[in-house]
């Protein structure tokens, strides 16, 4: 698959985003204002799982594609990186090459491309937003508490949160206590991924539409063995799931955890819609660690 930023850059270079003359409309401007074409472009970008580019300065982009890419402000040349940088394939490089990599250089992936596309104009913002917010974790290359669904939405003005929440289909959250967002509606949210560490708080959102929930508890197998999801904490977690995600059909606990004997069976009996319940990593025993 060709790199998505390389596909867009020549077309963007042909557009003068600062030319507001109503009498001059180029073929590129017409094409990049067409709803069907834009949908195909953003769908193509969203499929590019492996794309990775350096965040290059404005001067470098002007040198490659000329001043027609626009201003260096909110709509300008940083929309998409049109450099000739190739994807970094770390599986095929030597250790010596990795040592020479300048890790101070910021890289961005498909989420960064979509973010830049959102800055072009209002039309591009409206089309790129659903693709970017389908899975907010994909805004960066690795999920962390900063990409948790509650953390991201909490950083947005309350009056604008619903604008983005309505597009979320897959959410990620860490087990920290967080802001109450139950006033928001998530009509497309169908899957939640929860990573628990020493805190096991579920996100305070309306999760009635969620069908798939996965829990990744922190577990340290090295000596001394450390379980963060122990018997009492497991009970607390399952109670929260039954309250906030009562309609889930699939639940998986993806790493080692502890529970009291019979806990898993009792929980399944509480969840009327639960069909697939993978708790093979859970050890049921009376004593705690």
DSSP one-letter string for the chain: ---HHHHHHHHHHT--TT---TT---HHHHHTT-HHHHHHHHHHHHT-SS--EE---HHHHHHHH-GGG--SSTTSGGGS----PPP--GGGS-HHHHHHS-TTS-EE-HHHHHHHHHTS-HHHHHHHHHHHHTSGGGGSSS--GGGSHHHHHHTS-HHHHHHHHTT-SEEEEESS-----TTS--TT--EEEEEESS--PPP-S--TT--EEEEEE-EE-SSSPEESS-HHHHHHHHHHHHHH-TT-SEEEE-S-EEE-TTHHHHHHHH-TT--EEE-TTEEE-SS--
Mean pLDDT of the chain: 76
Give the pLDDT band of residue 60 (cuts 50, 70, 90): very low
The model's pLDDT over 175-220, given as tens digits with 9 standing for 90+, comes to: 777 788 999 999 999 999 998 887 788 888 988 999 999 999 988 8
pLDDT at 108: 61
The model's pLDDT over 221-264, given as tens digits with 9 standing for 90+, comes to: 877 788 889 999 999 999 999 999 999 999 999 999 999 999 99
> What is the rounded average pLDDT of the residues 258-276?
96
């Amino acid at each position: 698959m060709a790199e998505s930023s390389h596909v867009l850059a020549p077309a963007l270079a042909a557009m003068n985003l600062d030319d507001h003359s109503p009498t001059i409309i180029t073929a590129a401007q017409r094409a990049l204002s067409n709803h069907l074409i834009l949908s195909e472009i953003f769908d193509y970008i969203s499929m590019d799982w492996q794309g990775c580019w350096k965040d290059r300065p404005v001067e470098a982009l002007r040198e490659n594609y000329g001043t027609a890419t626009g201003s260096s402000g909110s709509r300008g040349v940083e929309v998409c990186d049109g450099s000739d940088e190739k994807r970094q394939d770390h599986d095929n490089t030597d250790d010596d090459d990795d040592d020479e990599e300048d890790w101070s250089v910021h890289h961005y992936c498909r989420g960064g491309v979509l973010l830049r596309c959102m800055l072009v104009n209002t039309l591009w913002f409206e089309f790129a937003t659903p693709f970017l917010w389908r899975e907010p974790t994909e805004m960066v290359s690795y999920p962390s508490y900063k990409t948790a669904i509650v953390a991201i939405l909490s950083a947005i003005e309350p009056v604008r949160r619903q604008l983005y929440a309505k597009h979320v289909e897959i959410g990620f959250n860490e087990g920290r206590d967080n802001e109450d967002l139950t006033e928001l509606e998530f009509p497309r949210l169908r899957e939640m991924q929860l990573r628990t560490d020493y805190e096991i708080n579920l996100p305070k959102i309306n999760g009635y539409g969620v069908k798939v929930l996965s829990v990744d508890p922190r577990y340290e197998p090295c000596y001394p063995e450390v379980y963060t999801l122990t018997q009492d904490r497991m009970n607390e977690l399952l109670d929260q799931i039954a309250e906030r995600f009562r309609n889930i059909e699939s639940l998986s606990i993806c790493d080692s955890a502890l529970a009291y004997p019979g806990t898993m069976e009792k929980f399944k009996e509480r969840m009327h819609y639960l069909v697939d319940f993978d708790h093979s990593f859970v050890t049921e025993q009376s004593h705690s660690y």
